[in-house]
Amino acid sequence: MECRSTVVGWRTPAPSTTGSLGLRLPLFPHAPRSITVDVMATASGVLGEYALPCRNAEESVPVDARLRKGVRRPVAHLLWLLTAITLSAQQPELTEERVYGREAWVLANGQIRVALLKGGGHIAEVRQTTGNPKRDVNPLRVPHYPTIEPQNYHPAKHGDIYGTDPHARLSSGYLGHLLCFPYYGPASDQEAQRGLGNHGEAPVVAWVKIRAEVTPASVGFEYGADLPQTHYRVRRKVTVLAGKREVTVEEWVENLTDLDRPMQWMQHATFGPPFVEPGRSRLKISAQDPALRDRLMSAQPRSSSYTAIRLDPTRDQQFFILSHPDFDVQIGYLLPAPQNPWVGDWMENQRSLTLPWNGQVIARGIEFGNSPYAEGLRKAIARASIDGTPTYGWIRARETLKNEYRIFLAEPGTAAPAH
């Protein structure tokens, strides 16, 4: 016989997740029986009920009746149960899933989830998991058209959807935050004839798992790719800590040749609807020029713009924060100043008519790294510097360089990071 009744007053703050959870747990060392706990975690709290195997008529009395008779389970028992439930919901984990139709590795901790694409290595999703749509929105761009793994693009098969120009392969898989390497912007004519396209080789090749570590304290995942045409190797380690709404990204690039080489190394963090909306989405950034520190996206129809921003050289760490007034979250990045002197603020409002954009794309790219303009490596070298700040970088023979940045989700109105 089994007795089942809602436990009066059982509510605890939500573990920032939704769903139901069934557990069978030992009651106490002195009580070897088990109880079955049904839990629903909601945005407002955790509700639950448990069932006890009945041994006699007294135990078959509903729980609320037993409470009236003064028969109560110890409060410590319920606290122990709720602790177990909360820890289970917030346990860091790593899964393989399809995200927006693409193969991905997903890191989660009960507070946020981060999706990393196998095709191109793009960061496709950084969002909360509270059950509240105004908090759980993915700020990153998800195209209006279906994407594919970019390494599988072929002009004869996919040209009618994505086009056949040098940008087509990237467009076929372009989703969220991508790495532009070893150049930023267009390939030269000769490079394009050899199959290279916009923003380098890194965002269009297959990335593979290198290693993963999941502990109660964190989930860490390392993945990377060899670039066979440009002879580099790229790697990323993405770490999500338990109980935190932030992501640490460490990134390495390795020169596989015996030559010192110029290169552009840029992060193309692209945000899209509904979080990006012309006339409403706002950027706050640690710009050197005070006039560029607070930038509202233009509301002008059928427009596009790009602004190169020199970040504040007096800071050790740079930052930018993007927000939308209709959502209860803002996304921000923290980045070390020496490796990231430049940001490009790109705004697209349905201007580009080329495939696959077709005058439908609304996007905002906050593009940071060692180069101010998406003009390609040859032009960056010719430009050399702006006001004493280089417009490209060097990597020595067989050298490995490292960059890192942190992505965080915060409440609206959170103050800008201090020095």
Q: HSE-up of 379 (CA within 13 Å, CB side)?
A: 11
Higher pLDDT: 7 or 265? It is: 265
Helix ranges restricted to H, 300-411: 377-383
Determine the pLDDT at residue 50: 40
- In this structure, are 126 and 75 located in the same domain? no
Would you say residue 419 lies in a domain?
Answer: no
Kindly report, residue by residue over 263-301, the tens digit of the pLDDT.
999 999 999 999 999 999 999 999 999 999 999 999 999
For residue 181, is it within any domain? yes
Last residue of a domain, one of 90, 120, 155: 90
Domain tally for the chain? 2
Is residue 418 domain-resident? no
With cut-offs at 50, 70 and 90, classify the pLDDT of residue 14.
very low
Task: Determine the pLDDT at residue 418.
Answer: 63
5 has pLDDT over 60: no
pLDDT tens profile 303-318: 999 999 999 999 999 9
What's the confidence (pLDDT) of residue 94? Answer: 98
Cα-Cα end-to-end distance for the chain: 64
Give the SS3 label for residue 100.
coil
Q: Are residues 31 and 110 in the same domain?
A: no
User: For residue 219, what are the CA distances in angstroms to 8, 15, 310?
Assistant: 36, 18, 34
- Give the mean pLDDT of 387-414: 96
- Boundaries of domain holding 246: 93-410
Same domain, 115 and 63: no
pLDDT at 79: 53
Q: What value does the mean pLDDT take over residues 35-44?
A: 40
In the prediction, which pLDDT does 26 show?
Answer: 36
Q: Are residues 102 and 251 in the same domain?
A: yes
Domain end (from 38, 71, 90): 90
- Asked if residue 415 is part of any domain, the answer here is no
Task: Tell me if 380 is assigned to some domain.
Answer: yes
> How large is the average pLDDT for residues 178-198?
97
> How high is the pLDDT of residue 148?
98
Residue position matching structure tokens 């020095």: 419
Task: Give me the pLDDT at residue 76, please.
Answer: 52
One domain for residues 79 and 207: no
* Residues forming a β-bridge with 403: 251
Calculate mean pLDDT across residues 368-383. Answer: 98
Q: Is residue 35 part of a domain?
A: yes
Note the pLDDT of residue 90.
78
Q: Is residue 300 part of a domain?
A: yes
Q: How confident is the model at residue 417 (pLDDT cuts 50, 70, 90)?
A: confident
Q: Are residues 308 and 337 in the same domain?
A: yes
Last residue of a domain, one of 27, 61, 90: 90
What would the two tokens of residue 217 be?
Answer: 């304290």
Residues 387 and 294 in one domain: yes
Q: Is the pLDDT of residue 40 over 60?
A: no
Is 23 a domain residue?
yes
d(CA 241, CA 243): 6
284 and 198 assigned to the same domain: yes
CATH of the domain at 311: 2.70.98.10
Q: How far apart are CA 302 and CA 86, in angstroms?
A: 48
How many other CB atoms sit within 10 Å of the CB of residue 101? 12
Summarize the confidence of residues 400-415 as an average pLDDT.
Answer: 93
